Structure 1
C-alpha cells in the first residue's frame, strides 16, 4: 500500500528505534486511529469535577507542533505534556506511548492534507497534482519525509489519502498491482527530492551561511587544487549548473526535471496499452 513519506534528531536509543510507523501494538493503534469506543487507554469518561483540559486530538496536535518545530527526535510524552501544560501521566490516559502517537500524528497530517478534484484532468495532470500535494505536506512537515512507513498506520487519513491518489491512475487500463506500483514510484520520487531540499536548508541553517556564501569561501582554494584538464566534464557542467542555481543544487529544478521524467516513464506503461 503506497502511502508516501518522513526526520528527527535527539532522543535516546530506545526512543529512536521506535521512530517509525506501526511500532506499537497494532490493535491498540487501530483502535485509537479509528476512535473505537472500547479502545484502551482512551479518553477518560466524563466525571464530576474540573472539565478535562485535553483530548486525543489535542495531544496529537501538540505532538505535531513539536515535531514540526524541533524534529520527531524531540518528541516525548513529557514534551507533549509540557506543550499542553499537563503532566506525562495525564497524557498516557489518552495515548499509550510514543509509538502509537507517531501513527496518530501521521494519520492526522494525511487527513488534513489538500486533495484536489482530479475528475476532469488528463492523467499527467492528475499525477502531477498528487505529487505536488505530497511535496507540500513534506515541506510543511519535514519529519514526515524521514519517517519509515513500510507498515503504514491504516487510519482514516492514510486510507483516504490512498483512495484519492489511486484515482490518478484509475481508468487508464492498468492492473491493480500496477496502479499501486505506479503510485509508489511517484511518491518515492517526491520524498527523495524533498529530503535533499530539507537537508540543504538544514545545512544552511546549521552553518549560518547560504550556499552562495559557502561556495564563495571554497572557490579560491578549489581553483588551486582542481585540475580542469583532468576533469573537463565536471568543470564545464558544474560551472553551468552553479551559475543556473547559484548553488550546487536546486530542489525546485530537480523536482520539475525529475517529475517530467517520471511522467514520461509512466507514459510508456500507460499509453502503450
Structure 2
C-alpha cells in the first residue's frame, strides 16, 4: 500500500485553497469550477478507484475539463490531497449529546473516525499525523476532540496526547478492517470460506499436544467470530482497553 505524505505541496497555496483566500486569476477565461467541486471529484475518484488512481488528469476527466484548466485552480497533487483530507473531515460529528462524560465523548470520537476510515479507505494511505492539513475542518475537528477531555484533570500536553492516542488506535484498527474487506473483494472468498478451505489440512497438522494453546484459543475465537479476525469486535474490545488506560491516567493525575 503506497503512502502519500500530507503537506507535500506548497504550504501557502494549500492553506489559501483550504481557507478560501486564494487569489483568483486575473487573466484567462472565467473560472467555472469551485474548489469544493474539485475536492469532491478527487474524493470520488479515490473512493471508487483508490489513492493510486488519483492524478490531476484523472480528476480533470471526472470534472470534464482539461488537465491544464485544472492546474489553474490547484497547483498539484500535494495540495489536492490536503484539500481532500480536510474536506472529508467535515463529515465528522461535532455533537457529543447532552450530559456525556469524557469516556462517552472519546468513544463517540473513535466510532465516528472508524466510520470515516471505512467510508474513505484511502485516508489510511495519507500520512498526515506530523503534517496535517491545517484547514478549517481539521482545526474544527481538533477543537471538538479537545473538548472531550477539557476539564478532567489532564495537562494541555496530556490532552493533545490522548487525542493522538485515540486517533492512532482507530487508524490501526481501521487498517485491519479495510485489509480484511479488500482481501474478500480480491479473492472472492469470505474469511469463513477461506478458513474452511484450509480446514482439511489444518486438521492433520495442528496437533493439540504440540500446540495446546494455539488450538484451544484459536478454536474458541474461530467459533465465536466464524473467522480468524472480527474487525468490529476487535475495534470495540481494543477501544475499551484504551479508554481504561486513559481512566488510569486521569485517576493518577
Q: Normalising TM by the smaller chain, what interval?
A: over 0.9
SS in 2 for 1:120: coil
Alignment partner, residue 96 of structure 1: 75
Task: Measure how far apart 1:145 and its partner are.
Answer: 2.0
TM-score of the superposed pair, with normalisation by structure 1:
0.88
Equivalent residues in 2 for 1:99-110, closer than 5 Å: 99-110=78-89
- Asked whether 1:195 is paired with 2:180, we answer no
Say whether the 8 Å CA contact 2:40–2:84 is kept in structure 1. Answer: yes
Alignment partner, residue 58 of structure 2: 79
Task: Measure how far apart 1:28 and its partner are.
Answer: 1.5
Alignment partner, residue 35 of structure 2: 56
**What CA distance in whole angstroms lies between the structure 2 residues aligned with 1:272 and 1:45?**
59
**What CA distance in whole angstroms lies between the structure 1 residues aligned with 2:162 and 2:170?**
13
Q: Write out per-residue CA displacement over residues 20-63 of structure 1, whole angstroms, 9 at most, x where no aligned residue.
A: 2100111111111112243xxxx54598x7x6442211111100
SS in 2 for 1:221: helix
SS in 2 for 1:171: coil
SS in 2 for 1:138: helix
Say whether the 8 Å CA contact 2:51–2:125 is kept in structure 1. Answer: no
Alignment partner, residue 12 of structure 2: 27
Alignment partner, residue 70 of structure 1: 49
Q: Write out per-residue CA displacement over residues 52-101 of structure 1, whole angstroms, 9 at most, x where no aligned residue.
A: 44221111110000111111110000100110111100110110000000
Alignment partner, residue 253 of structure 1: 233
Taking only aligned residues, the RMSD between alpha carbons, in angstroms, comes to 1.7
Alignment partner, residue 243 of structure 1: 223
Alignment partner, residue 3 of structure 1: none
Equivalent residues in 2 for 1:108-257, closer than 5 Å: 108-117=87-96, 120-149=99-128, 150-257=130-237
**What CA distance in whole angstroms lies between the structure 1 residues aligned with 2:117 and 2:231?**
13
**What CA distance in whole angstroms lies between the structure 2 residues aligned with 1:37 and 1:193?**
37
Task: Measure how far apart 1:120 and its partner are.
Answer: 2.3
Structure having the higher helix fraction is 2
Say whether the 8 Å CA contact 2:18–2:83 is kept in structure 1. Answer: yes
Task: Measure how far apart 1:210 and its partner are.
Answer: 0.7
SS in 1 for 2:74: coil
TM-score of the superposed pair, with normalisation by structure 2:
0.94
For structure 1, list consecutive stretches of 5 or more residues without a partner in the other structure.
Answer: 1-7, 10-15
Q: Write out per-residue CA displacement over residues 151-192 of structure 1, whole angstroms, 9 at most, x where no aligned residue.
A: 111110110010000111101111000000111111111111
Which shows bigger deviation, 116-125 or 156-165?
116-125
Corresponding residue pairs, total = 252
For structure 2, list consecutive stretches of 5 or more residues without a partner in the other structure.
Answer: none
